[in-house]
Chain A
């Protein structure tokens, strides 16, 4: 295994619920949205970890905490062995040269008043990596690399003049122009048209090889993970319930939630029929997660003990871990 690039330890995010002055005066104890509840994992240089979950799972919040766009309630993120929280102010801004993000909505993540060229070259200027025509040249090269061609022509365009696929390429170019080590991709293809998704995915895979990148690939779509991820981590209500090498988890899902997710994915084959029924109900609110194992109210295998005991990730060998005491015994 190559060197560890990112390590996340017990990352937690509890958003306080604001209820208004009077309500706060009269109710004892604050209520929290337990968005992320003690998440730990690590990423080695060059690998792609898929962070998979439905809405309310905490995956996006985790991504933001790793990049310190959000301050965690507790827990720590280590980059190359050094705690990210130890970087203060300007030092943190400098660190961002190496840790970048690709957001879900390419239209919203580009300022409508900045040209494509300005948007992509801006990180270079911020980090003092290039100036003037040097920055422009590097930007043009980057644009060609991601398929924004002819680069000279598109350099002066504004985001609203581009197609959705091109905009996402701009976002990718901007993220990679400073040659970062680590990129958090938060649902990068969710908003793209179906025919464009494959293109973006392929671009990301190519860039990974070209620039020796490490990705945290956040998504709700397990099927896409198959094409880009080495390992995946499944999140449910703020906790990781299963983590391991992709092929292993797909072939032998241990946690009932993982199995359910795999079953639920629509399969573009008319002959296919699901073998297991879907669980009832929906994801409970993260304000009041169920006691014990958060999945127990919907779990087909649930037993009384599941309500009482909190689950922890148990090692099943070859990097595969699952947080279900019933199945890991």
Chain B
């Protein structure tokens, strides 16, 4: 899995949204490496910046959101400074993205087949319609969908099936990297499980690298190789999944793990976490988690901690200096 240099590298990325009362710093100096073939779970609650981070990578942020500083290196090329043409050819064919709500991602006036043809031909106008449909059919087959459904329209399909179509559209150009932004949040539990199983199969079949963005740690536990926990626009903890679940370092991760229901365990109570997520216009000084931290120290109130390595992974916490 981890071989040599990373495929994608985020260097001190800062993303901002100027609004009337100030500037929201949604992503505040995030540095992250992603290696070919791995599944990275990007986990955090709403407002932690994970979706913004995901959208920034293919530069899909909507204005007034903007990348304030930092670099996004894809195979050595900085996406932030890329020209329009190169960026457009990158999207879809190298880096693909799927979103939470498949219903609004698909155009209700066009058939599924049309969506596929359009996607293929946007990247290579020479491909004939028939050939594009042929490719679509084989992608659908690997997703367990019959080729006849290419003639159908989005509203004729169920939520789970639409989400699979989305993956199909994402995969038809054989990208290297798939960014999935909360793909299962709108799905029922059983369909969600089916979907995650499917992702696992596809990842091997298409040799994909996946960033799986979710607020549900349970979703990524089995699928992810590594996990990044985000809080208040920063990385709280990052490392191999096993390591993070077994020995969580950051007090936030510990609190998070203690507060999610685990049906297989026998504890009678869930632990609660005091306080609420930080104000991103005026974040706390020092460590962004310090107002809620049960183990807060003086340094935490003043200086922002870098990532310290311990137990096989890294956490941004002064406890591990």
Q: Answer yes or no: A and B touching, Cβ < 8 Å.
A: yes
Q: CA A55 – CA B263 in complex, angstroms?
A: 21
* Residue contact A269 to B264, C-beta cutoff 8 Å: yes
> Which B residues lie within 8 Å of A199 (CB)?
272-273
Q: CA A262 – CA B189 in complex, angstroms?
A: 10
> Which B residues lie within 8 Å of A55 (CB)?
188
The listed residue (B196, B197, B260) touching A194 by CB distance below 8 A is B260
**Does B221 interact with chain A (Cβ within 8 Å)?**
yes
* Residue contact A266 to B218, C-beta cutoff 8 Å: yes
Q: CA A283 – CA B194 in complex, angstroms?
A: 13
Residue among A194, A198, A266 having the largest count of chain B Cβ atoms under 10 Å = A266
**Does B308 interact with chain A (Cβ within 8 Å)?**
no
* Residue contact B270 to A268, C-beta cutoff 8 Å: no
* Residue contact A223 to B261, C-beta cutoff 8 Å: yes
Question: A250 — nearest CB in chain B belongs to which residue?
Answer: B263
* Residue contact B190 to A223, C-beta cutoff 8 Å: no
* Residue contact B272 to A267, C-beta cutoff 8 Å: no
With contacts A194-B260, A195-B259, A282-B158 taken as known, whether A260 is within 8 angstroms of B190 at the C-beta atoms is yes
Question: B279 — nearest CB in chain A belongs to which residue?
Answer: A163
Question: A164 — nearest CB in chain B belongs to which residue?
Answer: B276
**Does B228 interact with chain A (Cβ within 8 Å)?**
no
Question: B43 — nearest CB in chain A belongs to which residue?
Answer: A194
* Residue contact A195 to B255, C-beta cutoff 8 Å: yes
Q: CA A199 – CA B215 in complex, angstroms?
A: 17
* Residue contact B194 to A269, C-beta cutoff 8 Å: no
> Which A residues lie within 8 Å of B191 (CB)?
282
With contacts A195-B255, A220-B188, A223-B263 taken as known, whether A266 is within 8 angstroms of B221 at the C-beta atoms is yes
Q: What residues of chain A have their CB less than 8 Å away from a CB belonging to chain B?
A: 54-55, 163-166, 193-199, 201-202, 220-224, 226-227, 250, 260-274, 278-280, 282-283
22 pairs from A and B in contact (CB 8 Å cutoff) = A54-B189, A55-B188, A193-B276, A197-B259, A198-B270, A221-B261, A223-B263, A226-B261, A264-B190, A265-B218, A266-B193, A267-B221, A267-B263, A268-B218, A269-B245, A269-B264, A270-B221, A270-B224, A273-B222, A279-B190, A282-B191, A283-B188
Q: What residues of chain B have their CB less than 8 Å away from a CB belonging to chain A?
A: 45-47, 158-161, 188-194, 196-197, 215-219, 221-222, 224, 241-242, 245, 255-257, 259-264, 268-273, 276-277
Extra pairs beyond A54-B190, A268-B218, A268-B260 (17, CB < 8 Å):
A54-B189, A195-B255, A198-B272, A221-B189, A222-B263, A223-B262, A227-B268, A250-B263, A264-B189, A265-B189, A266-B196, A266-B221, A267-B218, A268-B221, A272-B221, A278-B190, A282-B188
